[in-house]
């Protein structure tokens, strides 16, 4: 048998108001990139030890990583203790190291020119090797 203690427990307790979702600081990954990430993550991009593409949005991997950085930042900024430190260590440093790597998604670009690159090729596995989990 559970023991209910306190004024706000049990069947007569007032219903808890739903927590209001925090408002986003940035409305999109692109706004986050231009107003938060690039102004604070300053590196020497010399096209040898670090690469960047001015048209980063044509690179699906870059879009996905910038989106991940934005979403993580919006969430972790709410942790007033270590949230931003965790964001830098676990998110920004990791993803930006990959993005800026000379062998990363911008390997074929330079600071002034975007060059499309083909995606990795793959053959489909034999039927039945990877069942559709949505149908199980």
pLDDT of res. 83? 97
- 60 in a domain, yes or no? yes
- 71 in a domain, yes or no? yes
- 49 in a domain, yes or no? yes
- 77 in a domain, yes or no? yes
Q: Give the Å distances, CA to CA, from 52 to 30, 67, 105, 127.
A: 15, 17, 9, 40
pLDDT of res. 117? 87
Domain count, the chain: 1
- 123 in a domain, yes or no? no
What does pTM read for this prediction?
Answer: 0.79
pLDDT of res. 95? 98
Placement of tokens 């690469």 in the chain: 51
- 122 in a domain, yes or no? no
pLDDT of res. 14? 58
Residues ≥6 apart with Cβ < 8 Å to 87 = 72, 73, 76, 77
pLDDT of res. 72? 98
H or E stretch including 73?
helix 60-76
- 81 in a domain, yes or no? yes
Residue 97 lies in domain: 27-32+43-109
Placement of tokens 């020119």 in the chain: 113
For the chain, the C-alpha Rg in angstroms (whole number) is 23
Residue 98 exposed, middle or buried by CB count within 10 Å (0-12, 13-18, 19+): middle
pLDDT of res. 9? 47
pLDDT of res. 111? 82
Separation between Cα atoms, residue 78 and residue 73, nearest integer Å: 9
Written as tens digits, the pLDDT of the chain (136 aa) is 455 554 444 555 556 677 888 999 999 999 999 999 999 999 999 999 999 999 999 999 999 999 999 999 999 999 999 999 999 999 999 999 999 999 999 999 988 889 998 888 999 999 999 999 998 8
- 64 in a domain, yes or no? yes
Structure tokens at 118: 């083909």
């Amino acid at each position: 048998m559970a023991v209910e203690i306190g004024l706000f427990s049990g069947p007569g307790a007032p219903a808890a108001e739903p927590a209001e979702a925090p408002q986003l600081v940035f409305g999109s990954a692109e706004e986050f990139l231009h107003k938060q990430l690039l102004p604070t993550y300053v590196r020497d991009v010399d096209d040898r030890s670090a690469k960047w593409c001015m048209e980063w949005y044509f690179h699906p991997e870059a879009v996905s990583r910038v989106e991940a950085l934005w979403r993580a930042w919006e969430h972790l900024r709410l942790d007033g203790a270590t949230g931003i430190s965790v964001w830098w260590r676990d998110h920004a440093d990791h993803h930006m190291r990959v993005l800026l790597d000379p062998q990363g998604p911008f390997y074929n670009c330079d600071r002034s020119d975007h060059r499309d690159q083909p995606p990795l090729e793959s053959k489909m596995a034999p039927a039945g090797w990877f069942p559709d989990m949505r149908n199980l």
